[in-house]
Structure 1
Amino acid sequence: MNRFQSYHPLVHFAFFAAVVICTLLLMHPVFLGVSFAAAMLYAVLLGRARALRFSLLFTLPMLAAVAVLNPLFVHQGMTMLFYIHDNPVTLEAVLFGAAASVMLAAMLLWFFCCNEVFTSDEFLYLFGRAVPSLALLLSMTLRLIPRFKTQIGRISRAQAAIGMGTGAGNLWKRARNGMRILSILITWALENAVETADSMKARGYGLPGRTAFSIFRFCGRDAICLAVIAAAVAACVLGQLTGTVYVQYYPYVKWTSGPATAAVAAAYGVLCFLPAGLEGWGEWKWRSLQSTI
């Protein structure tokens, strides 16, 4: 069970907005490592094998590619390591490439987690009243690709059952069968759009004074979680403004350390590991209750 997913949509939005923005802005190596480790752990808890496959097949190769390519194209820095065709490769460029790759990998993992937790219904609930047209458009767009993927799978299986799949016949026949499947998908999408518009009109969408039912309720645990997120973000902002969390890669590498930096890093760790911590605490509580039976 994903216990963090049972929290209020406002908590989900605040958390993912906080971790994504902090990951983007805090290039300190300790903070990047914390963000990447927390994102990887939560992705594994959410997606299991799928998260590991996503990480190994896409995230880690991308991390290596950015780390290797940056020093080949950026030659800033004072510490020369070696030359490639008279182009210097510097330690600072290597370290910045590694930091940038970890940052990008962590961002992709956080977006993967956000896609699993923050649903289109929650997005529509949060922003439907403020910007209803934009919220509806984004909500429907987020659902578009998964629905198309599911529907094209159904169409492909149905066509394959009557001997007209993309794996039957020569190249020309397979291409023709593929075009037929695509034509069926487009027809289904147009019919579905008309049905959706008629349904929205029948339900009074856009009429003044129209009310909406919601299953989401803000309770005490949501307030506590928001307070923890706000406190952690405030600590990170304060550390950034006071220079406690400072890093410099060019022309030489320099970053802050010490008790103050460690305290801000601890607060950032609480923020990033919050969903995984809630999952672990819930699992421990459930096992404790089972042991008393």
Structure 2
Amino acid sequence: MRSAFEGYHPIVNFVYFTFVFIYSMIFMHPLCLAISLVCGFSYSVTLRGKKAIRFNLLYLLPMMIIAALVNPAFNHEGVTILTYLDSGNPLTLESITFGIAAAVMLASVVCWFNCYNVIMTSDKFIYLFGRVIPALSLVLSMVLRFVPRFKAQLKIISNGQKCIGRDISKGNIINRAKYGIKILSIMITWALENAIETADSMKTRGYGLNGRTAFSIYYFDRRDKKALIIIGGTGLYVLVGSLLGRVYFRYFPSMKSADITPYSISVFTAYLILCISPIVIESWENRRWKLLQSKI
């Protein structure tokens, strides 16, 4: 089933993910991190269902635990000393807290990138930047879709090799390594050939030439205008609040946060509205669809 937010104009999708990516990577306030992680996780589950839950639990959760444990093992800054390690270095509360914050930030960014890969297709990206920066937009579009296509092709090649007795999950270490190298060689060849074919195809179609026309199925309507006003307004409001120091949080040498005021609360609320906007859109569209079905 197609996502409701995916049906919005590409400029709306791009503005939203631009705000979310930037804020998720630079805001280290615990409340901002929590909002970003919860909304990113929820939206990825909304878009991908059980696949997102399995990916988040099997990969993101261990990654978060490792990141949270590694930081205090190497970072010994902070004034609140809890104990001393066997090496003689102190274990501080600030380093532990910062490790958890960094792990949450990393996980939230990965969640948002998963959502981005579903919503912002290569067609949308080329539509936005094809005339402005045609070569770079094509390269970025190919890079962003490379991982999912690589995974799908890897599965196809692995199954094909398994049918002729080259199963990397069976046999001794030498044979498994030999089969793995063979599959890797096939994948590299496929990736290079695919890139050359794509470049030749785009060149023969006149991509990047002056005066070249392009077909587009995207139309900016009233719905897109409302969504852009809400997303752009909340995004700019959060930007102003961050420039005024309302989302400031320091971990070293001691933890210190900006004072909680009605204005700072409004900035956090705006950030929540920004992050949760596509989830609300999905829920609203699903509710409208069920209502229309009930009237048939």
TM bin, normalised by shorter chain, reads: 0.7 to 0.9
Q: Aligned runs of 1:145-156 on 2, under 5 Å?
A: 145-156=147-158
Q: What is aligned with 1:290?
A: 293
Q: What is aligned with 2:5?
A: 4
Q: Residue by residue, what CA displacement relative to the aligned partner does 1:240-286 show, whole Å, maximum 9, x if unpaired?
A: 22232221222222213232221111110000001111011112222
Q: What is aligned with 1:224?
A: 226
Relative distance call for 1:71 and 1:207 in structure 2 (3 A) is closer
Q: What is aligned with 1:49?
A: 50
Letter in 2 for 1:235: Y
Pair 1:138-2:140 in alignment: yes
* CA–CA distance in structure 1, aligned partners of residues 284 and 260 of structure 2: 31
* CA–CA distance in structure 1, aligned partners of residues 278 and 39 of structure 2: 9
RMSD between superposed Cα atoms in Å: 2.6
Relative distance call for 1:254 and 1:127 in structure 2 (3 A) is same
SS at match of 2:100: helix
Q: Residue by residue, what CA displacement relative to the aligned partner does 1:82-116 show, whole Å, maximum 9, x if unpaired?
A: 12123221222222221111111111111111112
* CA–CA distance in structure 1, aligned partners of residues 101 and 144 of structure 2: 30
Q: What is aligned with 1:268?
A: 271
Q: Contact 2:241 / 2:267 at 8 angstroms: preserved in 1?
A: yes
Q: CA deviation at 1:57?
A: 1.6
Q: CA deviation at 1:126?
A: 0.9
**How many residue pairs were aligned?**
292
Q: CA deviation at 1:232?
A: 1.0
* CA–CA distance in structure 2, aligned partners of residues 191 and 35 of structure 1: 39
The structure with the larger Rg is: 1
TM-score in terms of structure 2 length:
0.87
Letter in 2 for 1:64: I
Relative distance call for 1:44 and 1:148 in structure 2 (3 A) is closer
Q: What is aligned with 1:16?
A: 17
Q: What is aligned with 1:70?
A: 71
Q: What is aligned with 1:240?
A: 242
Q: Contact 1:71 / 1:94 at 8 angstroms: preserved in 2?
A: yes
Q: Contact 1:157 / 1:165 at 8 angstroms: preserved in 2?
A: no
SS at match of 2:46: helix
The runs of 5 or more residues in structure 2 that have no matched partner are: none
Letter in 1 for 2:93: L
Q: What is aligned with 1:279?
A: 282
* CA–CA distance in structure 1, aligned partners of residues 71 and 182 of structure 2: 45
Task: Select between 115-124 and 138-147 the one with higher mean Cα deviation.
Answer: 138-147
* CA–CA distance in structure 1, aligned partners of residues 68 and 280 of structure 2: 31
Relative distance call for 1:34 and 1:201 in structure 2 (3 A) is closer
Q: CA deviation at 1:226?
A: 1.3
Task: Report sequence identity in percent.
Answer: 47
TM-score in terms of structure 1 length:
0.88
Relative distance call for 1:96 and 1:231 in structure 2 (3 A) is same
Letter in 2 for 1:138: L
The runs of 5 or more residues in structure 1 that have no matched partner are: none
Q: Pick one of 253, 256, 264 that aligns with 2:255.
A: 253
Task: Select between 189-198 and 36-45 the one with higher mean Cα deviation.
Answer: 189-198
